[in-house]
Every structure is written in C-alpha cells, then in structure tokens.
A and B are shown apart, each in its own frame.
Chain A
Amino acid sequence: MVEPYLVPNSLLNIVSGAVALGVSYYAFRYRRVTGSGFLRYLSVGFMLLGVGLLAQASLYLFAAFNLARVTDRIALIYSATALYLVLQSAAYLIIAAGYTVRVQKGMPMDRAEALAPVVAVGPVMPLLFRTLILDTGELVILVLVSFIAFQGAMAYSEQRNRFSLIVLLAFALIALSHLGELAGSILTSGFLYVIGGTANLAGFVLLLVFVIWSGRVGSS
C-alpha cells in the first residue's frame, strides 16, 4: 500500500518544490545580469518543477486528510500523479533542451520543437490515469533526468570545481529518486516510494547548498 506514505512523501516534496523555486529565482536573477539563454531554460524548467512538486504534494495531502469516498481519493491521487508527471516531464525536457542549446550553440534547438513531446501529451491526458501510463511517464522522466545528470558529469569533467560536482551529485540523486519511485510503483512498495522521495529531497538539498554557496562567492 502506497497510501500510508502519502503524508511523509508530500512533506518531502514540499521542501523539494520550495528549493526548485529558489533555484528558478536565482537562474532568473542571474539571467537578468548576464543575458544567458541557458539560464532562461533553467529558470523556466525549475519553476515548472517547483510548481509540479508543490501541486502534487498539496493534492496528496488533500487526499490523505480527505475522509470522503475511497473512489474520490483514488481519483485525486491519480490526478495529482498525472499532473506531477506532465509538469515534471515538461520541466526536465526544458532543462535538457537548455543543455542541448549550450552544447550546440551554432544550431540552437527550436523552442517549439523542444516542447513538441510535451504538447503531444495533452490529447492523451485521460490515458494517464492508467498505472501503465503513469509508470511510462515516470520512465520518461528518469531518462530525461539521467540525460541531465550525464550533462552534469560532462560539465564536471570540464570545470572540475566544487559547484559542478554538487550539481552532478544533485541530479544523480534526483535520477535515483525517480528510479526508486518507478520501482516502488512496479513492486507496489511504499517503502521504495519513500526512499525515492528521500533521495529526491537530498538532491534538492544539494541544489540549495549550491545556490547558497555560489551566492556567497561575490560577497567575499
């Protein structure tokens, strides 16, 4: 049963969502100074990620404390999960597109082209209520985050500084969290689900450390 883990997992996601919005704010702030296109992708991506995590956590908490009919609660949990998957897929797709543009500066990916798979998800929304589709969505996110973590590894091999190492570890933990959540769903293990949530939180805490630490550089 996954339901008993709704409250702790939601609380973890609220913290992760707040950190994601913090990263989005700093990316937006630094974009205003540098005009970097990559930061635009990062800012929008983390904003969607933060909104997705907070929306999912809010709906889960509502479901957990809602004593109405069981069928309503299940529908709410499925809706929250679907919303979370769509927003997270869009978020990680945008961040991954940002990395692609960074790598191929000479031929930047068209924005509409980058978002095409997300738009395509719209018409099949009702299907998202099926567990199989939810798991597929989780798998898509896992692939996207793994790609971002790989880009983080490339950045670390180039830069070899503490900030790129923190970002690499953060995305690796977030990828691990999605693996845990996917395994939790397939094996119907609430424990694996919470492990996934904890790894996700650890990843976002590392991002918070990175934002605070990098923000202190200019002050010294």
Chain B
Amino acid sequence: MVQAEKQRSTIKIYFDILTVTEEEGEAKTTRIIQKANLPHDRLMKHVAELQKRGLLSEYEDGGSRYYRVTSKGLEFVREVRRAQSFLSAFGVAI
C-alpha cells in the first residue's frame, strides 16, 4: 500500500496512479482507488490531469471504464524512478 495522501506530493500521486495502472496492465477506477490509496473525487481530478498531459488513456468495455498508461506515461514513470533513486542518495523524497 502506498503512503497516505496528505504526505504525498502531486508528482508522487501521479507516479502512484501510473505505477498501479502499469502493474495491472489496464485498471478500473476502483482498483486504482484501492491500491493508490485515494478517494474517488481526488482520483478523478488527478486522472483528468494525467489524461490532459497524455500520460494516461481511457476506454470503455462492457459498461466498465478502464485506464491504461500511454508510452509517454511509461517514460514519465521511468524518469520519476530515476529521480527517486537520485534524490534518495541525498536523503530527499519526491
């Protein structure tokens, strides 16, 4: 389980949403809420921003809404992982 939201930066929340979705391959809203530890309204706000930035895509299947990480989103996740490693050496979290 990821850390509580009030301690997380926006970038960390984006990273958590994308990581959860990437791990699942394609994820439903309820799954992301559960694994990224976010309330529904906040999640939808962040998801809208991620879609606007082209990091997350959405599609509907059988009445359910699914999310998938785009190639740009995957590159973002990799870059944040590199930044996390870099910053951890100085005792700083993102």
The reply to whether A164 and B90 form a contact with Cβ atoms under 8 Å apart is yes
The smallest C-beta distance from B71 to any residue of chain A, in angstroms, reads 14
Q: Which residues from chain B contact A154 at a C-beta distance below 8 Å?
A: 91
The smallest C-beta distance from B12 to any residue of chain A, in angstroms, reads 9
Q: Please name the residue on chain B nearest to A154 by beta carbon.
A: B91
The reply to whether B78 and A218 form a contact with Cβ atoms under 8 Å apart is yes
A42 at the interface (CB under 8 A from B): yes
**Complex formed: what's the CA distance from A163 to B92 in Å?**
12
**Complex formed: what's the CA distance from A155 to B9 in Å?**
20
The reply to whether B78 and A219 form a contact with Cβ atoms under 8 Å apart is yes
The reply to whether B82 and A30 form a contact with Cβ atoms under 8 Å apart is yes
> Quick one: which of B9, B76, B86, B91 contacts A30, CB cutoff 8 A?
B86
**How does the 8 Å CB contact mask read for B75-88 relative to A, with 1 for contact and 0 for none?**
01111111111111
The reply to whether A164 and B82 form a contact with Cβ atoms under 8 Å apart is no
Interface size on A, residues (CB 8 A): 31
- Size category, B interface: 20 to 34
**Complex formed: what's the CA distance from A145 to B81 in Å?**
28
The reply to whether A164 and B94 form a contact with Cβ atoms under 8 Å apart is no
Given contacts A33-B79, A35-B11, contact A217 B94 (CB under 8 A): no
Main SS at interface, chain A: helix
**Residues from 1 to 43 in A contacting B, C-beta threshold 8 Å:** 26-27, 30, 33-36, 38-39, 42
Q: Please name the residue on chain B nearest to A219 by beta carbon.
A: B78
B4 at the interface (CB under 8 A from A): no
Q: Please name the residue on chain A nearest to B76 by beta carbon.
A: A33
The reply to whether A102 and B92 form a contact with Cβ atoms under 8 Å apart is yes
The smallest C-beta distance from B55 to any residue of chain A, in angstroms, reads 12
Q: Which residues from chain A contact B1 at a C-beta distance below 8 Å?
A: none
Q: Please name the residue on chain A nearest to B92 by beta carbon.
A: A38
The reply to whether A218 and B90 form a contact with Cβ atoms under 8 Å apart is no
Q: Please name the residue on chain B nearest to A23 by beta carbon.
A: B86
A30-B83, A36-B92, A167-B90 are known; give 11 further A-B pairs, CB within 8 A: A30-B86, A33-B76, A34-B9, A34-B11, A34-B94, A36-B83, A102-B90, A156-B91, A163-B88, A211-B86, A219-B82
Residues of A at the B interface (CB closer than 8 Å) are 26-27, 30, 33-36, 38-39, 42, 99, 102, 151-152, 154-156, 158-159, 161, 163-164, 166-167, 210-211, 214-215, 217-219
Which 8 pairs, one residue from A and one from B, show the smallest C-beta to C-beta distance?
A: A155-B91, A218-B78, A163-B89, A218-B81, A30-B83, A218-B82, A214-B85, A217-B85
